[in-house]
Chain A
């Protein structure tokens, strides 16, 4: 029998809050964190709204207790991962608790990122282009994706296993999926899994060339949607199996009951018109959990707000659910699209929904993409009997992943 995988801790930092409690409050109150760009130095600051974490790097470093030059991606990731360990009871003093009741835990960190230390590299680069001997090397030391994870791991004190996944916007969903697989295989006792991405000029300009950025506040899953707003942040969960759960003495409310990763194999950046990758990911996650589509209580959509994603995703949902739609919404209307962090953040929001029996709305909806009454959640909805949530994360390169969470 395969063992269960529990969510033993959550850590979140985004434009709507610097911890899970603050994120949850904003979601309850319908408060978006997207607005004019204040922290990133970019030509487009007044053109494109974004969901920035409301702190500069010095403030983040103070929160983390770090000194020296660090990528914003590393700082955000550490802050969220530490919070997740604190909730799980695995944080002691200023580092991870490696031993529990005389047993040495095998602990892994699986992070994910798309930009890594690009926030530093892009400021180093102008001088370097003029003269390849100029600029301080500490500004490119965390350029590599693996380097940001390494920095987070050293901050946490994790050494048994570290890994970084980079599959664009599905990255952290894949990190959580791998974490669950390693637990089930008995290779690790505890996994901290999720993702982190800082807003950067590189991604802002990149998405701008694709002409998918909204100059207003985005309206995902609305027929009048115009594109996405970028965000930034980090979301990490602590995953444990039955044995570690007993050792930690926690009674966990939410488990990860299914997951799947499929490839759309349609186009490098665009989703297929029939939503094949998304359909296969959702279907696979439900099959693993052994549940039928009718048993899904709510979908936390990928729902970026681009014409292409929301159309492809809603078609995939229709293929899987027919006309018996579960309730659904996209919290990207609060956070913006946080790229590699979104699967982690949305896994946390899904847990909060299950724990508190509440569905968070899609903000600014005028004409929902799926117009059956009540399907797209447009205002905070207190519910009863919510048992399970499907969380979608789809990305460039056709990478599609779905996670299925349920109450224990």
Chain B
């Protein structure tokens, strides 16, 4: 399937990358917060004020991806989110505790459900199409992409809006920090949406050649897949790796790098977007952007006319995923 429109909001300012370019440099922070654009041209001001950050950035990137692809009524809207609408969940929980279950108002509760982003996109578009939300930790984006691929197979000629969003809040930051999440890698957040279709066109960014997920695989399973991938694709130009600084899974990342070819250059994308479960959506955007522009430009690492970019991500809970992008 082809990415025929893509948009992202991230701690690294990338929202207007298509028109203004992007300076891919590591973001230096402890707690990453997305660089929000002026939403005015995409969403009604009155609506923006009522939206939490995850809804704003999700809806804006969805609208932008559609606009780029010239599609107003997608045949499916698929959203991945590991944590869902944490800000509104936190607000409602806090009031629930403080007011001892009395005198509560509905707004935060209404917007706390996991499907709010996808629902708001449908509502703004008046789109009655298939709409689904996947919430399987760091596979949430990949499972959405896999559904997009299946939907395109089932419905030839259709277009699917697919993306992911997660937000970092004061509460989640404090909790995840206690889980020792941000000791070496700063915490992040972000949203990215893609308009995907079975056919390419002049506006295409990249082709998604493979998506593969594994949950707590045996070493043989993952070895078999990585070996097969390297044999079939002896032209991977870049590994976009989810490895974090001081990553406890560094050996696993190194193993995969070894399988696909140790001499293949690697970029650790979480230095731009931070650590969060659906960060692969940002990596997918970044890889597609480099393939579209025909140049990998990340400070010290420059590559001309890249053909294939492999995104690999794993975590301590045993989730592994591969996304292989190819230039059009």
* Interface positions of A (Cβ within 8 A of B): 42-44, 114, 121-122, 125-126, 128-129, 132-133, 137, 140, 144-147, 149-150, 153, 159-168, 174, 178, 181-182, 185, 187, 201-202, 205-206, 208-210, 261-269, 276-277, 280, 395-399
Who on chain A is nearest to B127 by CB? Answer: A265
Known contacts A181-B150, A210-B106, A265-B128; A166 and B84 CB within 8 A of each other = yes
Contact of B104 among A137, A205, A265, A397 (CB under 8 A): A205
B115 to A166, Cβ gap below 8 A? yes
CA distance A44 to B103 in the complex (A): 12
Q: What residues of chain B lie closer than 8 Å to A174, measured between beta carbons?
A: 132
Known contacts A144-B137, A396-B110; A263 and B179 CB within 8 A of each other = no
- Listed A/B pairs (18) with beta-carbon separation below 8 Å: A121-B93, A122-B97, A125-B93, A137-B179, A145-B136, A146-B136, A162-B136, A166-B114, A205-B92, A205-B101, A205-B109, A206-B109, A210-B110, A265-B122, A266-B123, A268-B120, A269-B106, A397-B122
Q: What residues of chain B lie closer than 8 Å to A395, measured between beta carbons?
A: 115
How many whole Å from A260's CB to the nearest CB in chain B?
8
Q: What residues of chain A lie closer than 8 Å to B213, measured between beta carbons?
A: 161
Residues 82-137 of B contacting A (Cβ, < 8 Å): 82-84, 92-94, 96-98, 100-102, 104-106, 109-116, 118-120, 122-123, 125-137
CA distance A181 to B217 in the complex (A): 24
How many whole Å from A147's CB to the nearest CB in chain B?
7
Residues 194-236 of B contacting A (Cβ, < 8 Å): 213, 215-217
B101 to A398, Cβ gap below 8 A? no
How many whole Å from B282's CB to the nearest CB in chain A?
19
Q: What residues of chain B lie closer than 8 Å to A128, measured between beta carbons?
A: 171, 174-175
Q: What residues of chain A lie closer than 8 Å to B97, measured between beta carbons?
A: 122, 125-126, 129
Known contacts A201-B96, A262-B130, A397-B115; A144 and B83 CB within 8 A of each other = yes
CA distance A162 to B140 in the complex (A): 10
* Interface positions of B (Cβ within 8 A of A): 77, 82-84, 92-94, 96-98, 100-102, 104-106, 109-116, 118-120, 122-123, 125-137, 139-140, 143, 147, 150, 153-154, 171, 174-175, 178-179, 213, 215-217, 317
CA distance A129 to B147 in the complex (A): 39
For the A-B complex with A210-B109, A263-B130, A398-B123 known, give 5 more contacts whose Cβ atoms are closer than 8 Å.
A43-B100, A132-B174, A201-B96, A261-B130, A261-B131
A164 to B129, Cβ gap below 8 A? no
How many whole Å from A357's CB to the nearest CB in chain B?
33
B123 to A43, Cβ gap below 8 A? no
Known contacts A263-B131, A398-B131; A150 and B179 CB within 8 A of each other = no
Q: What residues of chain A lie closer than 8 Å to B134, measured between beta carbons?
A: 163-166
Q: What residues of chain B lie closer than 8 Å to A43, measured between beta carbons?
A: 100-102
Q: Which 10 A-B pairs have the closest CB atoms?
A: A397-B119, A166-B114, A206-B109, A146-B137, A209-B106, A145-B135, A43-B101, A397-B115, A146-B136, A263-B131
A167 to B104, Cβ gap below 8 A? no
CA distance A290 to B214 in the complex (A): 36
Contact of A277 among B84, B128, B147, B150 (CB under 8 A): B128
Q: What residues of chain A lie closer than 8 Å to B109, measured between beta carbons?
A: 202, 205-206, 209-210
Who on chain B is nearest to A43 by CB? Answer: B101
Known contacts A209-B105, A265-B125; A181 and B154 CB within 8 A of each other = yes
CA distance A202 to B110 in the complex (A): 11
CA distance A262 to B83 in the complex (A): 24
How many whole Å from B250's CB to the nearest CB in chain A?
23
Contact of A150 among B150, B153, B317 (CB under 8 A): B317
B106 to A201, Cβ gap below 8 A? no
B104 to A209, Cβ gap below 8 A? yes
CA distance A178 to B149 in the complex (A): 13
Known contacts A137-B179, A205-B96, A399-B119; A167 and B133 CB within 8 A of each other = yes
Q: What residues of chain B lie closer than 8 Å to A262, measured between beta carbons?
A: 128-131
Q: What residues of chain A lie closer than 8 Å to B114, measured between beta carbons?
A: 114, 145, 166-167
Q: What residues of chain A lie closer than 8 Å to B317, measured between beta carbons?
A: 150
Known contacts A163-B136, A167-B115; A268 and B179 CB within 8 A of each other = no
Q: What residues of chain A lie closer than 8 Å to B147, measured between beta carbons?
A: 178
Who on chain A is nearest to B216 by CB? Answer: A159
A147 to B137, Cβ gap below 8 A? yes
CA distance A174 to B92 in the complex (A): 27
Who on chain B is nearest to A185 by CB? Answer: B150
Q: What residues of chain A lie closer than 8 Å to B92, measured between beta carbons?
A: 202, 205-206
A206 to B106, Cβ gap below 8 A? yes
How many whole Å from A63's CB to the nearest CB in chain B?
25
How many whole Å from A16's CB to the nearest CB in chain B?
26
Q: What residues of chain A lie closer than 8 Å to B216, measured between beta carbons?
A: 159
Known contacts A397-B113, A397-B118, A398-B119; A159 and B175 CB within 8 A of each other = no
CA distance A181 to B152 in the complex (A): 12
Q: What residues of chain B lie closer than 8 Å to A181, measured between beta carbons?
A: 150, 154
How many whole Å from A168's CB to the nearest CB in chain B?
5
Q: What residues of chain B lie closer than 8 Å to A166, measured between beta carbons?
A: 84, 113-115, 133-135
CA distance A209 to B91 in the complex (A): 14
CA distance A296 to B80 in the complex (A): 35
Known contacts A159-B215, A268-B111; A397 and B116 CB within 8 A of each other = yes
Q: What residues of chain B lie closer than 8 Å to A267, measured between beta carbons?
A: 123
Q: What residues of chain B lie closer than 8 Å to A168, measured between beta carbons?
A: 113, 115
CA distance A258 to B150 in the complex (A): 17
Q: What residues of chain A lie closer than 8 Å to B113, measured between beta carbons?
A: 114, 166, 168, 396-397
Who on chain A is nearest to B81 by CB? Answer: A166
A165 to B133, Cβ gap below 8 A? yes
How many whole Å from A205's CB to the nearest CB in chain B?
5
How many whole Å from A290's CB to the nearest CB in chain B?
16
CA distance A267 to B120 in the complex (A): 9
Q: What residues of chain A lie closer than 8 Å to B82, measured between beta carbons?
A: 144, 146
Q: What residues of chain B lie closer than 8 Å to A132, measured between beta carbons?
A: 174
B122 to A263, Cβ gap below 8 A? yes
B128 to A202, Cβ gap below 8 A? no
A276 to B128, Cβ gap below 8 A? yes
Q: What residues of chain A lie closer than 8 Å to B84, measured between beta carbons?
A: 145, 166
